[in-house]
Amino acid sequence: MRTTTHDLLKMKQDGIRIPVLTCYDYTSAKILDSANIPVLLVGDSLGMVVHGHPTTLPVTLEMMLLHTAAVARGSSKALIILDLPFATYSPNDLPSSLRNAARALAEGGAQAVKLEGGAHMVPVVEELTGAGIPVMGHLGLTPQSINQLGGYKIQGKTTDAREKMLADALALEAAGAFAIVLELIPADLAQRITQSLKIPTIGIGAGPHCSGQVQVFHDAFGLFEDFVPKHAKRFATLADTMRQAAKQYVDEVKAGKFPA
């Protein structure tokens, strides 16, 4: 039986931290499912760590649907969340927002979607949740707005910015969001927001006080070597293991040792 949004709320109420990982393919989903990861986020970060783009902006809905469907086939226990990509949702076009989010569930096999933005996204959240589509919010560093933010910088450093982020979080909760990702914000602000909300917060570079944590699969397991975020912890160095295995394969083929 899959994890549900209600399970996540109960985990917060019970003081149980929520581990979340990104995932982009069938094989990885099977492995993470067997490790009992309760939430798999098919993040638009796949644009960078899988497709080699410099940002998440080139990611399309078709790309997200393809990857999410693969993850859904590999997982039977995790709550699967599709990250709605850049320009696929807007308070100025609610019909398209609903249509795109509905495809995430109907075609991608996700159980929920994630979108970036604060109070200005309330109409979108209300539209989607009103149609039965669970929505996760995303505040702080919002990668789809990277050109507007001027780079990957810590957010919520001024008093005004902190108050606005808290207000945004409360607005998203009131609109029906089941959880909110807090990315690259001061730990004390993340703690304040977490304590102010009934719904869970999922931190990434936001300190230890959130209801749960999310890491990018390729960062956590040492597969992506182009750039390692300061907030990421490498729980393995699989790139080294794969590189050595590949070299051994080359050596054995050249030497006639494989096949035996």
Total residues found in the chain within this entry: 260
Q: Which residues have CB under 8 Å from 139's CB, separation 6+?
A: 116, 117, 118, 165, 168, 169, 172, 180, 181, 182, 183, 185, 193
Cβ-proximal residues to 68 (8 Å cutoff; 6+ apart), any chain: 42, 80, 82, 104, 108, 109, 110
Report yes or no: 231 and 204 within 8 Å, Cβ to Cβ: yes
Q: Which token pair is 147?
A: 């050109």
DSSP state at residue 76: S
Which phi and psi (to 5°) does residue 16 adopt? -95, 120
CA end-to-end distance (rounded Å), the chain: 44
Active site residue 116: no
Among the options 116, 127, 173, 183, which is catalytic? 183
Q: Which residues are catalytic?
A: 183
